[in-house]
Chains A and B, each alone.
Chain A
Amino acid sequence: MTMAVTARNLVRRFGEFTAVDRVSFEVPAGSVFGFLGPNGAGKTTTIRMLCGLLAPTEGEAEVIGFDLRREVDKIKENIGYMSQRFSLYADLTVRQNLEFYAGIYRIPRAKKAARIAFAVKMAGLTGAEHRLTGELSGGVKQRLALGAAIMHEPRLIFLDEPTAGVDPASRRDFWDLIAELRRQGVTVFVTTHYMDEAEHCDRLILIYSGRKIAEASPRELVTDIIAGTMLEISGPPPAEVVARVEKAPLIKQAQIFGLVSHVLIDNGADATERVRALVREAGWPEAQVRPIRASLEDAFIHLIEREDRRIAAEGGRAR
């Protein structure tokens, strides 16, 4: 399998502070690769390094076959990047924005009209090329920004929180575009806070405090990495249930979930029975306990809490 990105022990420090700490991974060409992590985890810093916008303090990377240290200009020419901060000019029209990007990417005159038309169509703005970009809705603006970022037909595109602040219907439309790019063989490297979007990725990595803490497919992340069973406890008041059971050695995670509570326990044949017993002993014999499917968000939180405990055990400070 060819790799669109190979990163080996990437480090980026800002003064004393290590924003990215020995991160390694490989992104298979043609895949949609999800880069997850809470705010401040180091996602944007990593992307900016891979795009050649920020020099790594240590480590190496190859991006679409070019060396990050020696061939940075080649990388910049051959990738697309949609930054987290917005990249279109609000006071320019749709067409003016696209012409501006066509210039930046040095699109040959013969191809320019077709590429602009492509981006306009992708944003669903055919016939509205003269509208001011600032007046477009958030979802349409993001589609236009994506169109601008791929005008030069890159084989790899980095999308940094492309759907932040976009409503759910527009997010679905945006992911249809990502699926379309994938079908055309484009590699998509994307960060998101939305776990329903992460489910659409072929592969995920989770970073936290600058370190990689997990790498798997979405399915593996909820089944293997969690390595436990999620149970729903209904009947007694969830706040009281959580307070009573969260310290029990059996329980890996407990949380209120509306009118019920969710607990995560280690896998085992009698796991459900043991939680039933725990709840019974706590004084709620009538409570109902049933296994449910863990979500990607559960896995995400579980991994971060585990890392927090590990950092605390090492005497470090979490977050």
Chain B
Amino acid sequence: MTMSLLAAANLRKRFGDIEAVAGIDLQVEPGEIFGLIGPDGAGKTTTLRLLVGLLDADEGEASIAGLDVHKQPDRARELLGYMPQQYSLYGDLTVEENLRFFADMHFVSRADRQERLARLFAFSRLEPYAKRPAGKLSGGMYKKLALSCCMIHTPKLLLLDEPTTGVDPLSRRELWEILYAFAAEGVAVVVSTPYMDEAERCHRVGLIHGGRFLLTDRPQAILAGFDEALFEVLTDDYDGARAALAQQQCALRSYPAGDALKVACRPGAAPETIGRTLTAAGVAYRSIEPGRPNFEDVFLSRVEVSA
């Protein structure tokens, strides 16, 4: 059997009564971007901290390139870069000083340093801001610098906790481009996010809820496997429509999607059923169109199944 770069089996961690991580299995290969996707409190941060070896697991094990993160923590840590959710750089040091500081911390030799800085500047496009204090960077630029600092020792595995939370769409796309560039060089990436719409940017995803994976697969395979019937209803009486559909048990759930009401029904349901229910309840509507599933639909559906 070939060994995955990152391999974790049956990881568990309990805090008092809360089972924060309840049996996580995970393998990530070089060049692969794995998305750990779930809402607040799902167990993303705890999972990452277990993988990095910052937290002791109650059960299970994790290894990086065959090195157990608990038994050989120092050697394992040389191989990984970890960016926590609240990453603190030195606000009054400049961009370049921060990078040099992290290079020193990781004993990067002087000979290698210049070349790595140049490479990271090429990825991050931060060179024009090299002399700016980190505390004066915008949110997106700050995250790019933090990411660069985690990569200064050229790790083989990168673990990122919510790198795109709160950044603007332009910076978000730039961050993803940087991750793709690292992956193209063979770095394995595990990235956590609460945004379901980022699932499709990953090579493989695990939808996490209550410390467990609801599903892990390629994003395309997950969407293809979604079998509920989805519709988009345009109506002026939004609340009336929601109430009517919920009461008649016609819809499994409904929620806003742009200017439409998205309605999920049991597999095979016909749009006429919805039309009839709305009409019977005296709710006027303009149209009922088939809707396309996205990861939010999948997630909500799976949470119900698992409950």
Contact = CB atoms under 8 A, between A and B. Distances in A.
Interface in B160-212: 165-171, 173, 176-177, 180, 184, 194-197, 200-203
Interface string A280-319: 0000000000000100010011001000000000000000
A185 interface: no
A38 B141 CA distance: 12
Given A167-B40, A168-B194, A239 B166 contact: no
Given A169-B40, A258-B200, A193 B169 contact: yes
B184 to A, nearest CB: 5
A164 B166 contact: yes
Given A199-B258, A199-B259, A256 B177 contact: yes
A259 B219 contact: yes
The interface size bin for chain B is 35 or more
A136 to B, nearest CB: 14
A196 interface: yes
Interface of B is mostly: mixed
A259 B256 contact: no
B139 A219 contact: no
A300 B258 contact: no
Interface of A is mostly: mixed
B240 to A, nearest CB: 13
Nearest to B218: A259
A195 interface: yes
A142 to B, nearest CB: 13
A168 B303 CA distance: 15
B248 interface: no
The interface size bin for chain A is 20 to 34
A218 B177 contact: no
Given A168-B39, A168-B195, A301 B173 contact: yes
Contacts of A39: 138-140, 167-168, 171
A223 interface: no
Contact of B39 (A169, A175, A304): A169
Contacts of B173: 255, 297, 301
14 contacts: A38-B140, A38-B169, A39-B140, A39-B167, A40-B138, A165-B165, A167-B39, A199-B258, A199-B259, A234-B220, A238-B180, A256-B177, A258-B202, A297-B173
Given A39-B171, A168-B39, A193-B166, 17 more contacts: A168-B196, A199-B257, A199-B258, A199-B259, A200-B256, A218-B258, A238-B180, A255-B177, A256-B180, A257-B201, A258-B33, A258-B202, A259-B219, A259-B220, A293-B292, A300-B169, A301-B169
